[in-house]
Amino acid sequence: MSVPIATPSATPVASPVPPQNTAVNTASVVQQASATAAAAAVNKKNTPAALLAQLEDSIVAGNIPQIVLSMITYATNVGSSDIHIEPLEGVVRIRFRVDGVLRVLIEYPTNIHPAIVSRVKIMSGMKIDEQRIPQDGRMQTVTQDGRNLDLRVSTLPTVNGEKIVMRIQDKSKTIPDLPDLGIEGENLKKMERFTKLPNGVILVSGPTGSGKTNTLYSTLNRLNQVGVNIMTFEDPVEYQMDGLNQSQVKPEIDYSFAYGLRTALRQDPDIIMVGEIRDQETIEIGIRAALTGHLVLSTIHTNSAVSSLTRILDMGVKPFLITASIRGIIAQRLVRKICSDCKETYQPEAAILQDIKTELSKVPQGQLDPELLTNITLTKGKGCAKCGDTGTAGRIGIFEIMEMDRELSALLIKGASEEELVETAQKNGMISLKQDGYIKALHGIIPIEEVYRVAQ
Ligand SMILES: [Zn+2]
């Protein structure tokens, strides 16, 4: 939406120096003060529509602190993960990432952009006079509806001026439990068995942005008790949990995941979480930790549960070490949920119907309600004001959870092919990503197209 701008006046608004606060050095003081003052001054209604109207008003008025506060408040209100402030030719565009997709919210005139950049830089502890190179910073702030946020901020010089991206971490957000992520039925039982293990390696696999970290946090939340020492090594620490010892690794000074893991073993741990397994060294120390009585959780960048095994073999790890330590592998994808306000059912065409039936006929006994396959209807969102005409709102995971058993271990030692491993895993109770997706589609939770998009 474009805002009709009143005369872009020659007020101090366009000045590259941020208003008022230049004398204050502590970024947090600036934000606290402005957040409180603004919260008192603004409309008490914090609905997305009211916040958007307020943002428009503050752009027209050239009220820089209010523009920044309003856009951050709006972003958290609509569940956005990132804010992009992008100078284009002749206009600056603000986009918000919601459910993984960028949406344009509003534009503002280029003359107030330098003041907005300066404001954000001060709040995030960056140098305001450095405009030629990218900068990184962090800010802690409070939205006008009282949420405590941690924002990772990054600037980038572009041909039209400095672009800003803010990654939002809502500290007031609670960690969802495993069923809220989409782990249900037999999958949930497997996860519960994993969390009761005294030792072993549990891996979560999937591409970037598939929700792996959320699954780890939800799992750690279940494991988080006063009697156990949980240590994490993350890059970055995305969510701070009470009771955990969370450490941010810094590869630039050689504080790597592998280094962290080695250190952890001298810190009397029970459970260790390592952000990602990328190399042989990290997985081997992880395996050693598991074999000496620790539960190790991590992620790996692969497409399926079984291909994670192949990937670890390719890293040069001996099969017997894998079968001795790895207890479970979760593969996942994030998919959009159907908007509850505009959902409607429809009859799928014959080919789709047949595909669903064929695929779900392979689901292991007892894991599928046969009722689901009689009178199949699918659901979609036709689009409404609430979902911005997308037909979808929010996201959920689809999962494939493999529990290592004797049969799989024997096959792996024997050097079996990926196909054989998949076949055996499915025979022994693993629901594939596609099957889990189809089941969620039949339950009217996700559009079937989302399954096609993420799972082949
Ligand atoms: Zn809708």
The average pLDDT across 55-70 equals 95
267 CA from centroid of ligand 1 (Å): 50
Residue 33 has pLDDT above 50, yes or no: no
2 CA from centroid of ligand 1 (Å): 23
The average pLDDT across 317-346 equals 97
441 CA from centroid of ligand 1 (Å): 17
pLDDT band at 20 (very low <50, low <70, confident <90, very high): very low
The residue whose two tokens read 């929010």 is 394
What's 144's DSSP letter? Answer: T
Q: Does 385 or 413 have the greater pLDDT score? A: 413
Question: Would you state the pLDDT for residue 47?
Answer: 85
Mean model confidence pLDDT for the chain: 89
380 CA from centroid of ligand 1 (Å): 10
Beta bridge partners of 336: 395
What SS3 state is found at 267? Answer: coil
54 CA from centroid of ligand 1 (Å): 24
Q: Do the Cβ atoms of 249 and 255 come closer than 8 Å?
A: yes
Question: Would you state the pLDDT for residue 377?
Answer: 94
Q: Do the Cβ atoms of 74 and 45 come closer than 8 Å?
A: no
Question: Would you state the pLDDT for residue 240?
Answer: 84
Peptide bond into 236 cis (omega under 30): yes
Query: HEC states along 300-327?
Result: ECCCCHHHHHHHHHHCCCCHHHHHHHEE
379 CA from centroid of ligand 1 (Å): 12
Q: Do the Cβ atoms of 306 and 425 come closer than 8 Å?
A: yes
388 CA from centroid of ligand 1 (Å): 7
Question: Would you state the pLDDT for residue 44?
Answer: 54
pLDDT band at 35 (very low <50, low <70, confident <90, very high): very low
Residue 9 has pLDDT above 70, yes or no: no
392 CA from centroid of ligand 1 (Å): 6
The average pLDDT across 152-158 equals 96
Q: pLDDT tens, 69-124? A: 999 999 998 889 999 999 999 999 999 998 888 987 799 999 999 999 999 999 99
67 CA from centroid of ligand 1 (Å): 28
The average pLDDT across 424-434 equals 96
pLDDT band at 172 (very low <50, low <70, confident <90, very high): confident
Q: Does 432 or 29 have the greater pLDDT score? A: 432
Residue 34 has pLDDT above 50, yes or no: no
275 CA from centroid of ligand 1 (Å): 35
454 CA from centroid of ligand 1 (Å): 22
> Residue ranges of the alpha helices (H) in 292-405?
305-314, 319-325, 350-361
What SS3 state is found at 262? Answer: helix
162 phi and psi, to 5 degrees?
-80, 130
pLDDT band at 456 (very low <50, low <70, confident <90, very high): confident
- pTM confidence score: 0.80
Residue 176 has pLDDT above 90, yes or no: yes
383 CA from centroid of ligand 1 (Å): 4
Task: Extract the runs of DSSP E, i.e. beta strands, from 57-207.
Answer: 80-87, 92-98, 101-108, 135-142, 148-158, 161-170, 200-205
445 CA from centroid of ligand 1 (Å): 13
The average pLDDT across 207-234 equals 95
Question: Would you state the pLDDT for residue 37?
Answer: 45
Question: Would you state the pLDDT for residue 238?
Answer: 83
If one counts every other C-beta atom within 10 angstroms of the C-beta of residue 24, the result is: 12
Question: Would you state the pLDDT for residue 351?
Answer: 95
CA atoms 292, 313, 234, 147: torsion sign: negative
